[in-house]
Amino acid sequence: MIGEGKKVAFHTLGCKLNFAETSTIARLFEKEGFQKVDFSLPADVYVINTCSVTENADKECKTIVRAALKNAPDAFVAIVGCYAQLKPEEIAKIEGVDVVLGASEKFKLLNYIQFSQKKQETEIHSCEIDDVTNFISSYSYGDRTLSFLKVQDGCDYTCSYCTIPLARGASRSDTVASVVENAKQIAASGVKEIVLTGVNIGDFGLNQNQTDTGRKQETFFDLVKELDKVESIERFRISSIEPNLLKDEIIEFVSTSQRFVPHFHVPLQSGSNKILNLMRRRYLRDLYSDRVAKIKEVMPNACIGVDVIVGFPGETEEDFLETYNFINGLDVSYLHVFTFSERANTDAAKMQGMVPIAERKRRNKMLRILSAKKTRAFYEQQQGKTESVLMEHENKNGIMFGLTPNYVKVKLPFDESLANKLIEVQLESIDADGNYIAKQLQEQLN
């Protein structure tokens, strides 16, 4: 085994999908005899999984590489992931990087490992993104109480601001049977909650088991129904799904499911139809409000998260206030607010009407304040309720945390015996940090 007596460390930037893939790459290393260590420790190999959405990706990469080589100056450094696919030459200029692997090569990293000496010139192994057509199953476990399970990759949408199709390629997905088998493997490791991840998971079934007419044989709804039968997993959580792909049948099924939790993250991006059109989103605001209303109709206690972008080219003050007021009127629970930034090779970067940076920041701040108000209101609605909570392992100054099915963060005095256990609690009061102080009602549910 090439890794006998060697150590490897990983650093992941970006989304849940990246964490799933990093964990899968780590297991490949462990099978070859490598010992996985924390990124802050000396290692023989450092792997950095990058993100195309991250601001100042080049600067961030340099900082992380520098930190790694400070601990182990002769270590082999590999950069993989979305940014590595988009800007390999840029990354190759970073001092100390030995290899840069694009979307088609990252799972073959072991083939490129060399220990003899640091490379004089960085190797780049990549291909045209149109040639990336295979799907590689991935999931995480061991680092957290829950697992991120990749069910889909790539995207066929052409949103004017987004680089993800350029970094990950066309939409493609696993099969239902394979995902179910992965879920069972995850369950065998003791994990109780799985988060389904992908770039556009509502498109599950594309480029997989297609008929001659190009129609999908398997759908995301098919996947949800089959996973619900996996008794060894207590909870399934849907990470993020486009509003136009969140069908009534999915919402209604989740409302009666014993395993899928009442938590949806549904990207909005703008509450202005004018801006949605400029973004080339596949819905208008009325459809979005209809999805929120449908969820709340059948699951009044559901948590709903929202992605929104501020400062998009052409967004006037009136457009922004339209978004603000639209969100303010929605029964949603929290916002993830992104400030628009120009991305190379996207149509949005060439649009007229760029919003000044200071104004983008002001709008971002306004929506983050609105998010805090929405979250507080949602939490206050939970007071006095009895909920099951999945407790995490970490001891934070004598306190441990967990999540309810509807994504409310709960705190209890640390008790190691409760880690990775589902317990029943009563939600009593909200502390200064916005977490629920709870009273334990039972030793454990599972």
Determine the average pLDDT of the residues in 342-362: 95
Residue 385 has phi, psi (to 5 degrees) of -80, 155
Helix, strand, coil shares, percent, the chain, to 5: 35, 20, 45
pLDDT of residue 328: 98
Q: Tell me: the pLDDT tens digits for 299-318?
A: 999 999 999 999 999 999 99
Counting DSSP H helices and E strands in the chain, the numbers are 12, 20
Choose among 9, 73, 78, 89: nearest CA to 50: 78
Render 67-114 in DSSP notation, one character per residue. HHHHH-TT-EEEEEEHHHHH-HHHHHTSTT--EEE-TTTGGGGGGG--
Q: What is the pLDDT of residues 68-121, one digit of tens each?
A: 999 999 999 999 998 889 888 988 989 999 999 988 899 999 999 887 667 778
Task: For tokens 């983050």, name the residue.
Answer: 368
The class level of CATH for 386-440 reads: mainly beta
Q: So what's the pLDDT on residue 61?
A: 85
Output the pLDDT for position 206: 77
Indicate the domain borders of the chain.
Answer: 7-127, 138-381, 386-440
Query: What is the per-residue pLDDT across 355-370, written as a single tens digit (0 to 9) for each?
Result: 999 999 999 999 999 9
Looking at residue 390, its amino acid is: L
The residue type found at 428 is: E
Considering the domain 7-127, what is its CATH architecture? 3-Layer(aba) Sandwich (3.40)
Q: What is the pLDDT of residue 215?
A: 54
Give CA–CA dist 45/75, Å, rounded. 5
Q: How far apart are CA 280 and CA 304, in angstroms?
A: 23
Angle at 229 between CA 223 and CA 230, to 5 degrees: 95
What would the DSSP string read from start to end of 182-243?
A: HHHHHHHTT--EEEEE-SSGGGTTTTSS--TT---SS-HHHHHHHHTT-TT-SEEEE----G
Q: Write down the mean pLDDT value for the chain.
A: 92
Model pTM greater than 0.75? yes
Lowest mean pLDDT among 133-137, 290-294, 364-368, 377-381: 133-137
Reported as a single tens digit per residue, the pLDDT across 399-410 is 999 999 999 999
Section 252-276 average pLDDT: 98
Q: Contact 75/68 with Cβ under 8 angstroms?
A: yes
Give the pLDDT band (50/70/90) at residue 441. Answer: confident
Distance of CA 383 to the CA centre of its chain: 29
| The CATH number of the domain covering residues in 138-381 | 3.80.30.20
Of 51-65, 122-136, 416-430, the poorest mean pLDDT is in: 51-65
Q: Inform me whether the pLDDT recorded for 210 exceeds 80.
A: no
- pLDDT of 212 reads 43
